[in-house]
Amino acid sequence: MNRHVIVVDLGFGDAGKGATVDWLCSPAAGLGPAAVVRFNGGAQAAHTVVAGGRTHTFAQFGSGTLAGVPTLLTRHVLVEPIALAAEAEALAALGVPDPLGLLAVDGRALLTTPIHIAANRARERARGAARHGSCGRGIGETAAYALAHPAPTVADCAHPDRLRALLTALAAHYAPLLTGSGFGFEPVDALVDMYREFAAAVRVVGDGELARLARRGPLVFEGAQGVLLDEWRGFHPHTTWSTVEPRNARALLAGIGATGTVLGVTRTYQTRHGDGPFPTEDPALALPEPHNGTGPYQGAFRRGHLDLVLLRYALEVCGGVDGLVVNHLDVPRPLRVATAYRTPEGVLHRLPLGPWQDLAHQESLTTLLRSATPQWAELPSDIPGYLERELDTPVLLTGNGPDRSHRRPTPATRAA
């Protein structure tokens, strides 16, 4: 295995990235990472780790925190300081000493504010039955606003006058949407005070931090959400405003003259949280989900059978991966697998990969998936071996339960 590791989810999220990162950061893996590097997403992440009797669902802190590994939030992360402070308190209650002391944040990272969150929730509720499946955490509003306006960043938190002007403009922009919506936010001056405290409590860094950490040891890059929700490769419009595939992580490593091993994480079945196409969905698949439920904006947590067509597509979107992580091997059997789709365009074993940033193509895939009828086969008992053969990619780690102790590396991983 390469010195640095990039962890991505090959589905719609919730495949076990957090558990994978936690194991990579534990003594059992023998990697000894210097940091977990977050390279996309924001406070909507929900990576549950169960280790040594402690359970935490990570949002902005890296999932190596219970193992004592520091976190770097890069410029590609949307930072929500109020939620971050609450997460630090929860980690401290679990016995993590000085969680904020384990954190470094790139000053160029955009701020997600209560103004963005209120606007996100108002907009999603107004969509009614046409909801996109948003988490209601302000991610899309943060990214969209920054495309057209000067937007507040983490570095601005240490400059109250500049931050006040940016927040005032932000509030004015969203006033027409929020008026009469029932969604509100704290006064701008109160936000400025909270963000000034945040800037004093965390280490704000710049370009040189990644190289500094890499000199200390290997880096584990932790992705958020799933490749099938990628802003440019997911099934538009039911996507996240974030580049989920490993493009950002590879670019960050290239910037310090390095490369990384990419691990693609999947369950033994498919899941989806929120609206959007889901060809193998099976409401009768009543598998236990202690850490996933109905969200007020996303809607219900959905389950379906394994889907080789979507897995092949995810691997192609990633430009290939070096190894697979297969989780949830402990779920009850039998399970099925979709080996192909019957569609109006014929039988498909693969989805066509269009040009990058072509949302019209992605919307056509959404239409195609809604019309697809899976061709089924029974999922063999040796699921890792089956996936290795079908996807031509080695399985390097498996999980047969929620706890860190349930991770099992393959002999090839140990040798690497």
- Can you say how many angstroms the Cα of residue 38 is from the centroid of all Cα atoms in its chain? 9
Q: CA-to-CA distance for 112 and 140, rounded, in angstroms?
A: 10
- Side-chain half-sphere CA neighbours of 206 within 13 A: 1
Give yes or no for a contact between 146 and 110, defined as CB atoms under 8 angstroms apart.
yes
Q: CA-to-CA distance for 249 and 148, rounded, in angstroms?
A: 25
Residue with tokens 């904006």: 297
Letter for the amino acid at 245?
A: E
- Can you say how many angstroms the Cα of residue 88 is from the centroid of all Cα atoms in its chain? 19
Sign of CA dihedral 128, 294, 78, 162: positive
Give yes or no for a contact between 108 and 138, defined as CB atoms under 8 angstroms apart.
no
Give yes or no for a contact between 203 and 20, defined as CB atoms under 8 angstroms apart.
no
Q: CA-to-CA distance for 110 and 241, rounded, in angstroms?
A: 13
Q: Is 238 a catalytic residue?
A: no
Catalytic residue among 4, 9, 14, 236: 14
Q: CA-to-CA distance for 196 and 190, rounded, in angstroms?
A: 10
Helix spans in 318-392 (H): 359-370, 383-391
Give yes or no for a contact between 81 and 117, defined as CB atoms under 8 angstroms apart.
no
Angle among Cα 411, 379, 273 to the nearest 5 degrees reads: 95
- Can you say how many angstroms the Cα of residue 259 is from the centroid of all Cα atoms in its chain? 21
Distances (CA, A) of 167 to 79, 150, 187: 15, 10, 10
Letter for the amino acid at 171?
A: A
User: Strand, coil or helix: what is 341?
Assistant: strand
Catalytic residue among 9, 22, 47, 238: 47
User: Strand, coil or helix: what is 126?
Assistant: helix
Q: Is 406 a catalytic residue?
A: no
End-to-end CA separation in angstroms for the chain:
5
**Six token digits for residue 109:** 């990272």
Q: CA-to-CA distance for 46 and 39, rounded, in angstroms?
A: 15
**Six token digits for residue 376:** 């089924």
The residues annotated with a catalytic role in the active site are 14, 47
